[in-house]
Structure 1
Amino acid sequence: MKDLTEKTIRGGFAKVCAQAANFGLRIGALMVLGRLLDPKDFGLVGMVTAVIGVLHLFKDFGLSTATIQRKTISTEQLSTLFWINMLVGGVLGLLSLILAPAIAAFYHEPRLVLVTSVLAAGFLFNAAGVQHSALLQRQMRFTTAAVIDTIALVISIAIAIGMAFAGYRYWAIVAMTITQPFVSTIGCWIATAWIPGPPARRSELRSMMRFGGTITVNGLIVYIAYNLEKVLLGRYWGATAIGIYGRAYQLINIPTENLVGATGGVAFSALSRLQDDPVRLKSYFLKGYSLVLALTIPITLACALFAGDLIRVVLGPKWHDAVPIFQLLAPTILIFAMINPLAWLLFALGMVARSLKVALVLAPLVIVGYIIGLPHGPTGVALAYSAVMTVWAIPHIAWCVHGTVISLRDILTTVSRPLVSGLVSAGLAFAAQLSYGDLLSPLPRLLLGGSLLLAVYLGMLLYVMKQKSFYLDLFARLLKRPPAEEQVLISA
């Protein structure tokens, strides 16, 4: 168990560092591409990805999660899962090609036929790396996986910026979208040095297929709930509207994707190995949950307070219409940081059916919100979406933890310390902004306000809330010598 603790902490640190780098890279890419391309360029690609993104949910059929969650898995089973993924990827790519004319007709935009056809290749690129990536997670080789992700992102961004400079407009975004999974898959193959064998009929995969299938259906429902508004905005308000909404939405989701992504893979792998040890599982989960919230809350407040300056600095002045959308979506950063980690718990415990039931209730609520907000354009949709998610947060948490080793009181106690610290720091930062706001340009104002917010937040959290010892202990563990090379967790 001590070895698992060290692997988890060091793996989490590696993932956080990599995701911090990825955060910077994504922000940098947005800053450059936002100035080289128009909202309509982003909107054209966004129209397609909002639709075929549904198909991407089936690219691994939940089998990567099943691979990580299993206590033991054979090479024969892995090989069979690989070929299942390739078959699914090929079918989805072909289906995208077939749907291309219909997508173009739906949006009244003929250019989408070719865009959809090119993006279809991404299904095969993703499918080829699903099990190799899962194998790295299963082996808890998080540093290796993080390096691969970062390299893939750097290459894809470089290609996109080069094409944008050359005048290829929306094709730069298309190239970025398909290059990243291609490079990532190559990296995973090299890192694992595993070549799949032929599929086997008697590899006892029924339970894994059922587990993965439930996860896929859950993901499908959640995807529809969180992305239908983009389809509706593209259909009724056009490419420019979805381009503006989409960039604000993307910028809002970068913190959640990076922070939860940094800890999620590590936490799920560790929790899956502790599913028979409820005391340690509870301790692991709450520590990871506390870390995610401590990092997320100041980011949420900064996005809400400094929305105008952030948009101007990151995307440029031509994206000023994204400011109210960005500000309205800001609360969802914290909401998703509160509810997404609960999936680690449910999946690690094999409680995927409950996760599916939660999604079945959430989806109609969010969709009704979209419909109410749609007549008011992107701003109305953003307000409705944020309001529904905020109201839903506590019932969601209570339902997910019911009957597990985690209680609602545990969650609320964990949230309270960083939240109170954040509200105090936000109040002081807001007051300061009122006093000097008109005297500074956007970048200095953003840097000064953000620094003040962070300084007060850290003082509150570490000293007033007495969390200093927790983070010092975490830092001390990170400085320890890393454990010996991890052994492959595959049983013959």
Structure 2
Amino acid sequence: MRDRLRALLDGIVPSGSVLDRTVQSGVWATAIKVSSRFLQILMLIVLARVLAPRQFGLMGIALVSLSATRNFSKIGLKTALIQRRNENVDEYLDTAWCLETGRGVVIFAVLFAAAPLIGGFFDEPNAVPLIRVIGLGPLLFGLRNPGIVYFRKDLEFHKEFVYQVSGGIVQFAVGVGYALISPTVWALVFAYVSADAFKFGLSYVVHDYRPWPSFDVSIARELIDYGKWITASSVLYFLYREGDDAFVGWFLSATALGFYQYAYRIADTPSSEVSEILASVSFPAYSKLQDDPVELRQALLATTRVTGFITIPMAIGIALVAPTFVPVVLGDEWTPMIRVMQLLALYGLFHSITRNFGSVWKALDRPDVIAKLAAVRVACIAALIWPAAARFGIEGVGLVVVGVYAFPMLPLDVYILSKMTEIRPLLFFREWFYPLVGAGVMFVSLRRLRGLMDVTPLVELVVLIPTGIVVYTAAALVLSQVSPWKIENDIRSIAGSLS
């Protein structure tokens, strides 16, 4: 069976130039994200019908605890291996495996020992056993076959697809299956742990490399030296990405955390996942182009253009349909999250259009830029989040997150990247302006249509989404004909690479 699986994977390998392989890998990365996220969102929608917001909040406390330990101990080994110019990195893998295994053991031990303290901090003792069990995830992660790093390094995202989506299917099956038998928060816990356990075993099926406990101090020093800024940026990433979750759970309540986290997952997922797909594919591509600044600039602008074309209308569309989507899909119990979901959809917009920048900084051996910008963002959020939450609750927290990203972070990100790549800042904003106009036309049209409709919320939702896609596509086609925004050329180039 293993030989048949490998033969199937080898038959669909991306090939051609770096551009062709990047585009083909982008299709596979899209398939990975769409499939995995679809299964996860579908699982959460099903569970939202049988679990209370407070149970999601308890799980949120466990996930925040897990994320904190993971991010505070992340040493950027995969990133360091992908960034290496040499194609074969086998000499690094045993040392990397030892480092990741040791990290997994430490995370599990810390979570197990600190669980009562974390439960006391949030005043939620029911979260203690959840934290301890979910700590098995990083232990299994550390033991995975390190050879799977080649899937991304060599742009073999067809193999990554099988690996990631299989775990998503297991997660969905376990979560929904357990909830149907016992509708408790443990359905979420076992779903996450089972996916990690399955992917641990699968990693040794889909790649031939077999790690051995061999540790080279000089290799470890080399990897960690590159990864030190990944560690710093990872810590700061947690603080600005999930520090608001921890604050909501502590300052407000587990129920408020359930509303806030669920709103974030739905609002940010579509647009940010698309940008993450492009970023995951573009990083190894940028790494291969790091010695060719002209090609790198062209690739960066093309990626920026395609990202804005896809993610900007998605974010605006989510904000528009949220009042209909939440009661129809999740139930009336979840309506308190509507306003914060609309705010976080705008965060998803800003987050998505700059997500690609980090890939450039890492590819150019400047991961320190990510950490330094993250520090600025954390400082701004920390200064504003308490008074905003005290005055407006979870909506205030969402407003701070969106506001800080809009200013000062977005202009600062663009300025630094433009200096590093010698691309005029105006070119980035031009690539975002045209899809923003098209999305504005879509927004106004759907608002008018909603005012004319007198139907049930379910019918309204079914009509609005496809209508928005049609209106935006038409507006984009017109703009591409009458302006310098040539997204049509990018689409044709992508189609050509695929064919």
Q: TM range, normalised to the smaller chain?
A: over 0.9
Gaps of 5+ in 2: 1-14, 482-486
Q: What is the match of residue 255 of structure 2?
A: 240
Q: Measure the CA separation in 2 of the matches of 1:470 and 1:249.
A: 31
Q: Aligned-pair RMSD on alpha carbons?
A: 1.8
> Scaled by the length of structure 1, what TM-score is found?
0.93
State the partner residue of 2:431: 414
Deviates more, 1:266-275 or 1:470-479: 470-479
The aligned residue for residue 485 of structure 1 is none
**Equivalent runs, 1:220-259 vs 2, <5 Å:** 220-259=235-274
Matched letter for residue 241 of structure 1? A
Residue of structure 1 equivalent to 2:5: none
Which residue of the partner structure matches residue 52 of structure 1?
66
Query: Cα deviation per residue 1:45-79 (whole Å; 9 max; x = unaligned)?
Result: 11122233111115551111001011125322111
1:31 touches 1:313 (CA, 8 Å); kept in 2? no
| Aligned position for 1:478 | 498
In the alignment, which residue of structure 2 is the partner of 1:275? 290
Code of the aligned partner of 1:296 = T
Once residues 161 and 59 of structure 1 are traced to their aligned partners in structure 2, the CA distance between those partners, rounded to angstroms, is 31
Question: After superposition, what is the alpha-carbon deviation per residue over 1:229-272, rounded to whole angstroms, capped at 9, x for unaligned?
Answer: 22222123221111111110111222144212322221111111
Match of 1:28 in 2: 42
Give the whole-Å Cα distance in 2 for the aligned partners of 1:181 and 1:290: 35
Summarize the alignment of residues 81-100 of structure 1 with structure 2, pairs less than 5 Å apart.
81-100=96-115
Q: Is 1:3 matched up with 2:17?
A: yes
Residue correspondences, number: 477
Q: Tell me how far 1:136 sits from its aligned partner.
A: 1.4
Is the contact made by 2:236 and 2:374 (CA closer than 8 Å) also made in structure 1?
yes
Partner of 1:490: none
1:399 aligns with 2:416: yes
Alpha carbons 1:332, 1:389 under 8 Å: kept: yes
Q: How does 1:362-381 map to 2 (within 5 A)?
A: 362-375=377-390, 376-381=392-397
Q: Which residue of 1 aligns with 2:361?
A: 346
Identify the range of structure 1 (281-290 vs 9-18) with the bigger mean alpha-carbon deviation: 281-290
Residue 484 of structure 1 corresponds to: none
Question: Is the partner of 2:471 in helix, strand or coil?
Answer: helix
Retained in 1: the 8 A contact 2:115–2:131?
Answer: yes
Could you tell me which residue of structure 2 aligns to residue 486 of structure 1? none
Structure 1: 4+ residue segments shifted above 6 A: none
**1-side partners of 2:276 and 2:238: how far apart?**
17
Aligned to 1:149: 164
Secondary structure, aligned partner of 1:465: helix
- 1:170 corresponds in structure 2 to 185
Find the aligned partners of 1:59 and 1:174 in 2 and give their Cα distance. 22
Structure 2 residue identity aligned to 1:425: M
**Alpha-carbon shift at residue 2 of structure 1 (Å):** 4.9
State the 1:188 CA deviation: 2.6
The 2-side partners of 1:396 and 1:3 are apart by 30
Structure 1 residues 31 and 224, CA gap change in structure 2 (3 angstroms):
same
> Which is worse superposed, 156-165 or 441-450?
441-450
Q: Is the 8 A contact 1:225 1:363 kept in 2?
A: yes
- Please state how far the C-alpha of 1:168 moved relative to its aligned partner: 4.4
What is the alpha-carbon distance in structure 2 between the residues aligned to residue 435 and residue 468 of structure 1? 33
Further displaced range: 140-149 or 465-474: 465-474
Separation in structure 1 between the aligned mates of residue 144 and residue 183 of structure 2, nearest angstrom: 28
- The residue number in structure 1 matching 2:122 is 107
**Identical positions, percent:** 23
Deviations 1:204-225, CA, capped at 9 Å, x for gaps? 3433211112111111112112
Contact 2:152 2:160 in 1 (8 A): yes
For residue 404 of structure 1, what is the amino acid of its counterpart?
A: T
Secondary structure, in 3 states, of the residue corresponding to 2:365?
coil
Per-residue displacement from partner, 1:101-157 (whole Å, max 9, x unpaired)?
101111222222211110111111222237333221112110110222111111111
- Within the candidate set 209, 230, 245, 1:194 is matched to 209
Answering whether residue 398 of structure 2 is matched by residue 382 of structure 1, we say: yes
* 1:304-329 superposed Cα distances (whole Å, 9 cap, x missing partner): 11111121233222111111111121
Structure 1 residue aligned with 2:7: none
Give the SS at the match of 2:213.
coil
Partner of 2:144: 129
CA contact (8 A) 1:233 1:241 kept: yes
The superposition leaves residues 417-469 of structure 1 with CA deviations (integer Å, 9 ceiling, x where unpaired) of: 21111112211111211221xx1222221222222221121112123223323
Partners of 1:16 and 1:30 in 2: how far apart?
21
**Cα distance change, pair 264–98 in 1 and its aligned pair in 2 (3 A):** same
Alignment partner of 1:42 out of 46, 56, 60: 56
Shift of 1:227: 1.5
Secondary structure class of the residue paired with 1:108: coil
Q: Compare 370-379 and 193-202 and name the one that shifted more.
A: 193-202
Return the structure number with greater relative CO, CA threshold 8 A, min gap 6. 1
Structure 2 partner of 1:462: 477
TM-score by length of 2: 0.91
> CA 1:399 to 1:130, structure 2 compared with 1: closer, same or farther past 3 Å?
farther
**Paired residue for 1:482?**
none
